[in-house]
Each structure stands twice: as structure tokens, then as C-alpha cells.
Structure 1
Amino acid sequence: MITKKLGALEVGAQGLGCMGMSQAYGVRDNEAESIATIHRALELGVTLLDTANVYADGVNEELVGRAIRESGVNRDDIVLATKFGIVWTDGQMSARGGAAYVKECCEASLRRLGLDHIDLYYQHRVDPDTPVEETWGALAELVEEGKIRYAGISEASAESIRRAHAVHPVTALQSEWSLWTRGIEDEVLPTCRELGIGIVPFSPLGRGFLTGQVTSVQDLPEDDMRRRLPRFAGENFDKNLAIVEALRALAEEKGVTAGQLALAWVQHHGDDVVPIPGTKRRRYLEENVASVEIALNSLSESDLKAIEDAAPASAVAGARYPESLSRAAGK
């Protein structure tokens, strides 16, 4: 796999989001397959593995750490990313960013991971009640102590990114970016490029919707968090499915899947863009990784226009999150 740069950090052109191995997308009943998927990712040149302390209350960090330790791959060849800052209280999501809290979270993550350092440590959400300068002062100290190598920020506004970067270099921004989530393009993306900050799109497949594999809400397990998302509900689902059908028709013309085309569209946006599609199965991982080659060699400017015409941002129905999640979706 080719590599790309997130600031000063070099990684494989596509990463692996590991959240779904432990929470959110249905029953987790095959830890062995999840670990095998991580090992296969490393074999394929995927070097960026993404987790967070909040994913299944730390269980995902434990799983990813175990997979790294058992992989046989040199630790220096793996870029482990985790996060701090999201707090759940009575089903409501909020954020914390106090200096002492940042350091406590880092120590706890290192224990769960069973590793001696974190390569990329993200502020998962900006705390509206704590100056971002305080949070980033703590991150700078963790870098000095060798506990983390680089610091990133997630779902942040252009203003918050600038303020953080003034304290300590922001290596990467992790935000949702896909054919049906385009919010970073107007202000956040130009700011990151001005400052030399890499872009790590999460949910580049629209939480799996853009693959075309979900044709009904009934396809989703009862405990799947997507059942609570507005874009998967009622009339919104049907309207969004029409977008996927148009994308699928284009994909068939090129002999690829709708998901590969959607991922290639994200990949094609630059050498500073490293999407992290999530999966817990090797066969989907391999399909996703193949999109890197499609982005490099199979997409012309006319193809990109056809993709955007098939999936215009204005046609997407429904908000990203319900109200209980949107309050801390990004500042």
C-alpha cells in the first residue's frame, strides 16, 4: 500500500476503524475474527489502527492492544490511535478536557492497551467548558513525557483547530466525511490544509449505508445504533437508498462495488486524506483496501463529477445524529 502524510506522521493510505468490533453495529460474538481482521490489515499495509477509550467502555482498546501484541509486527511499524474526551451521563453525550482528566485518560488507555506509548492521541470532542488551550497544554506535556507521539483533534471547528494548533501542533483532524456528510469542506478542510494538518475521515462509507448492503432497517440487529440515527429512519431511509442505487449503477459500470467507489471518492481528495473505514471481517477489509488502487488509477475528473451527481450532498435526508448525540457532535 502507498503511504500518506498526516502532518509529520507517515501512515498507510487507508486505516482501520476498530469501534464496530466492540460496540454500536450489532452483536459482537467473534473476537477471534476481529483480531484476525486487524492482523490481515497489517499484512495489507494498513498501519493506522483507530480506537477510543469510550468504545465499549475500554473493551475495544483491550482488544486492539492484544491484537497488536500478538501480531508479530514490529511495534514501530504500527500507528495506534486512541482518544479521550467523550463522557456519557444518563444517555447524553458530553465532553471533558481538563488537564488532569486528559492525563488520567492517557494512563488508563495505556494500561488497557498494554503498550508503552500511544502514537496518535485525539481529543475526541472539544469540551465547551474548558479552554482548548488547557487541553492542548496537557497533550504537549504528554508528548514531552513520551507517553504519546502526536496529538490530534476530532469533530472540531476551524476556530478550535487554530487555537489548539497555536499551543501544540495538531497532527490530524478526525471528522466524519463521506459522500453523504460534507460538512468539513467549507471551513475545516481549508484550515487544516493551511496549517499542514492531515485529515482522517471516519464513517467514509456512511456507517455502511453507501455499500448498498443495508436495504432495510430490518437488516440491522436489534442492538445496532444505526436504528436510532435519523438517516436510517422512515422516509429518510428510502430517500437515501435512492442515492445508493445511483451510486451502485456507476460502480457496476466500472466493475467495482458501490462501497469501493464511495471510498475511492474520499481517497481521491488528497495525499493528506487517510480514511478509516471500520469492519470486523476480513472479507470487507480486503474489499475496502482495494479502493486505494481504484482511487489511484481508475477515477477521472469526469468519474468524480458523475459520483457527486449521483450522490449530491443536497439529496441526503436526515440529520447525522439524534438530539442526544448532536449536542456534542463538534465545536
Structure 2
Amino acid sequence: MKTRKLGQNGPDVSAIALGCMSFAGFYGETDRDEAFATLDAARDAGITFLDTSDMYGKGLSETLIGEWQKDRGHRFQIATKGGIVIGAPRGTADNSREYLREHLEGSLERLGVDSVELYYVHRREFPRPIEEVTETLESFRQEGLIGAFGYSEISPAALRRASSVAPVGAVQNEYSLWTRQPDLGLIQACKDLGTTFVPFSPLGRGIFGDSDLDPARFRDIDFRKSNPRFMEPNFSANMEHVRALRAFAHDRGWTTAAVAIAWTLQQGDHLVPIPGTRNAAHLMEWADADEIIFTESDRAALDQIMPVGWAHGDRYSDAQIVGIERYC
């Protein structure tokens, strides 16, 4: 797999990383064997970079990664996140030095490592100046606990404020064929500042696949159960576009998922998407997306199938968007 730079002076990482939220059962039941098989497939596909968080299953995702690495004798490059108060009402964040240190040390213990390549503040604690939080993260970097630091779901203005204190290695926001807000300043700001932009949910939370989802079968705890884009009449309207994308991909011998990820990769050489899956077979559907190169004709077709703003429904419900920094 091709590689890309993580931050200004960071290591080279695989152009496509693996998001490990699904290991904690967010989208369906999973187990240790399935998680291990998925990590095996990632390693074999040339993926070197994993993305996780202390809140994914209250540390379960990190624990599984740590156990796999010990069992297999293989070390991935790892990004993990902290700053959300686990068990508190949605959107509650604590970015204090004491809280972040405690949770970073917990993450390192579960992962079985002395340091991670990247540590994100998962959600901002808005009353606390981002400059103060950046000073905390930079001190962790200087201690050798982390190789670089970043933020999730922040605005271009917040990124510039943080970068005035110390270089920000990465910013992670939702970005895909149906979520384009980062085009309104964030991707550009990352490019200007030498910050890697990490698109999460590049597969539209599973909608960009080769088979139709059935929202009626979503579990009650599934994030998508109350997400506007997966509720009627929005879901049916969205599927018309998705089926057209599927036909576009299959006509060219590609999977739908690979096309969706290739699209994110080709929005800039500083992007490293993190599609998530708990299934090794699903991973193999997009593991070679970095090999796809669109022609001008392909791009024109994609713009027609999925023009900017085509998605029906907001990307979050009012309850889900709590704690996320809005802009534009």
C-alpha cells in the first residue's frame, strides 16, 4: 500500500488506515476472534495505521488491539483519543491536563505500548481555551508519550489557534461523498499548516457498500437508528444516489466502498481516511482503493451522481451533534 506523511515531520503511514470503533460493537455484535481476523487482514493488506479511542467500548477496542499485538508480535502505528467523559451525558468533555494524562496513560496500558504515534482530543471542552489544551498535548509529546497530537471535529479557526502554540499533527472530521463540510475551509487550513486531515466515516457509516442496508434491522443502540440520513423518507431518497454510485463502480470493475475511499484520497495528498470495519472480508473490499485513479470522465460522472449537497437529512440529529464544533 502507498504511504502518506503524518503531520509535518511525522512518520510515513499507510495511505488508508483502519478505524477500530466497530470492535466495540457500535454497529453490531462482534468478538475477539473476529477482531483478530480483521487486524490480520489489515496487516496483510499493508495497513500500518490504526485509529481507536478510550471510549470505544470503554477501552475494549484498545484492549483488543493490545492483545492482538502481543499475540502476533506485530506493532501497528496507532492513533487513539481521549477527552470525552465516559459515562457522562453525551458531549461532556474534560480537556484538563490531569484528565488527559490519566486517560492517555490508561490507553497506553491497554494498548501495551510506551507511546502512540498520535493522540487526539476527541471532543473539545469549549470553555477551556484550545491554546491551553495544546500546551498540555505538546508537553505529552515532549515527554515522549506521543509522537504527535491532534483534534477531532474542530473548526478551521480552532485549528489555527492551536497551531499558533505548536504544530498540530492531524485533524479528524467526518468527510465523504455525502459529507462535504470540511471542504469549506478545514481541508485547506490543514494543507496550509502541514496538518494531516483524517476523514472518518468515508464509507458513509456503511451506506457505500455493494449491498443495501436495512435500517429496520439496526439494533436499538446502533448510532444510525436515530440518524436523520438513515430514517425515512431520507433513507430511500439517499439510496437512489447510492445505487447509481454502485453501478458506476461495478461498470469499472471496482467495489462501491473502494470508489468511496478513492474519492477521499484524491481530494488531497495530505488526507489519510480511516474506514472502519469489524469484518476481514469487508476490509478486503476497499484495501486496494489507493490503486484507483479517476479519469476526468470518472470525476464528471461522480459529480453528476453525487453533486455537492445531494444527501437527504443532516449528518447528525440534534442529540448526536452535541459537543461538535460547527462552522460556516
Fold agreement, TM-score > 0.5: yes
The structural deviation recorded for 1:223 is 3.5
The structural deviation recorded for 1:128 is 0.5
Alignment partners' CA distance in 2, 1:313 and 1:70: 45
Alignment partners' CA distance in 2, 1:183 and 1:225: 20
Alignment partners' CA distance in 2, 1:143 and 1:204: 29
The superposition leaves residues 129-181 of structure 1 with CA deviations (integer Å, 9 ceiling, x where unpaired) of 11111111111111111111111111110111111112121111111110000
Instruction: Please list every run of at least 4 consecutive aligned residues from structure 1 whose deviation after the TM superposition is greater than 6 angstroms.
Output: none
The superposition leaves residues 80-102 of structure 1 with CA deviations (integer Å, 9 ceiling, x where unpaired) of 11001123556422222112211
In the other structure, the counterpart of 2:222 is 224
Alignment partners' CA distance in 1, 2:86 and 2:319: 10
Alignment partners' CA distance in 1, 2:40 and 2:72: 6
Query: 2:91, 2:123 within 8 Å by CA — same for their partners in 1?
Result: no
Query: 2:255, 2:286 within 8 Å by CA — same for their partners in 1?
Result: no
Query: 2:58, 2:86 within 8 Å by CA — same for their partners in 1?
Result: no
| Aligned residue runs from structure 1 range 1-331, under 5 A | 1-7=1-7, 8-9=9-10, 10-28=12-30, 30-73=31-74, 75=75, 78-88=76-86, 91-295=89-293, 299-330=294-325
Task: Provide the secondary structure at the position in 2 that maps to 1:307.
Answer: helix
Query: 2:261, 2:286 within 8 Å by CA — same for their partners in 1?
Result: yes
Task: Provide the secondary structure at the position in 2 that maps to 1:313.
Answer: coil
Q: What's the RMSD between the two structures over aligned residues?
A: 1.5
The structural deviation recorded for 1:216 is 2.5
Query: 2:23, 2:60 within 8 Å by CA — same for their partners in 1?
Result: no
Query: 2:27, 2:222 within 8 Å by CA — same for their partners in 1?
Result: yes
Letter in 2 for 1:67: W
Query: 1:152, 1:170 within 8 Å by CA — same for their partners in 2?
Result: yes
Alignment partners' CA distance in 2, 1:71 and 1:247: 38
With structure 1 as the length reference, what TM-score do the two structures score?
A: 0.93
Letter in 2 for 1:290: D
Query: 1:25, 1:224 within 8 Å by CA — same for their partners in 2?
Result: yes
Letter in 2 for 1:11: V
Q: 1:219 to 1:307 in 2, by over 3 A?
A: farther
Alignment partners' CA distance in 1, 2:22 and 2:29: 10
The superposition leaves residues 15-64 of structure 1 with CA deviations (integer Å, 9 ceiling, x where unpaired) of 00000111310122x31121121122122210110100111111111111
The structural deviation recorded for 1:195 is 0.4
User: Which has the higher mean CA deviation after the structures are superposed, 98-107 or 226-235?
Assistant: 98-107
Alignment partners' CA distance in 2, 1:238 and 1:230: 12
User: Which has the higher mean CA deviation after the structures are superposed, 220-229 or 264-273?
Assistant: 220-229
Alignment partners' CA distance in 2, 1:301 and 1:46: 28
Letter in 1 for 2:106: A
The superposition leaves residues 276-331 of structure 1 with CA deviations (integer Å, 9 ceiling, x where unpaired) of 10011111111111211114xxx112212211220123220111112222121225
The superposition leaves residues 222-252 of structure 1 with CA deviations (integer Å, 9 ceiling, x where unpaired) of 4422112111011010111111011012112
Query: 2:174, 2:199 within 8 Å by CA — same for their partners in 1?
Result: yes
Task: Provide the secondary structure at the position in 2 that maps to 1:326.
Answer: coil
Whichever structure has more strand as a proportion of its residues is: 1
Task: Provide the secondary structure at the position in 2 that maps to 1:126.
Answer: coil
Q: Percent identity?
A: 39
Task: Provide the secondary structure at the position in 2 that maps to 1:276.
Answer: coil
Query: 2:180, 2:309 within 8 Å by CA — same for their partners in 1?
Result: no
User: Which has the higher mean CA deviation after the structures are superposed, 108-117 or 91-100?
Assistant: 91-100
Structure 2, unpaired ranges of 5+: none
Letter in 2 for 1:26: G
Query: 2:229, 2:315 within 8 Å by CA — same for their partners in 1?
Result: yes
Query: 1:214, 1:220 within 8 Å by CA — same for their partners in 2?
Result: no
User: Which has the higher mean CA deviation after the structures are superposed, 83-92 or 165-174?
Assistant: 83-92
Task: Provide the secondary structure at the position in 2 that maps to 1:200.
Answer: strand
Whichever structure has more helix as a proportion of its residues is: 1
Task: Provide the secondary structure at the position in 1 that maps to 2:182.
Answer: coil
Letter in 2 for 1:245: R
Q: 1:144 to 1:215 in 2, by over 3 A?
A: closer
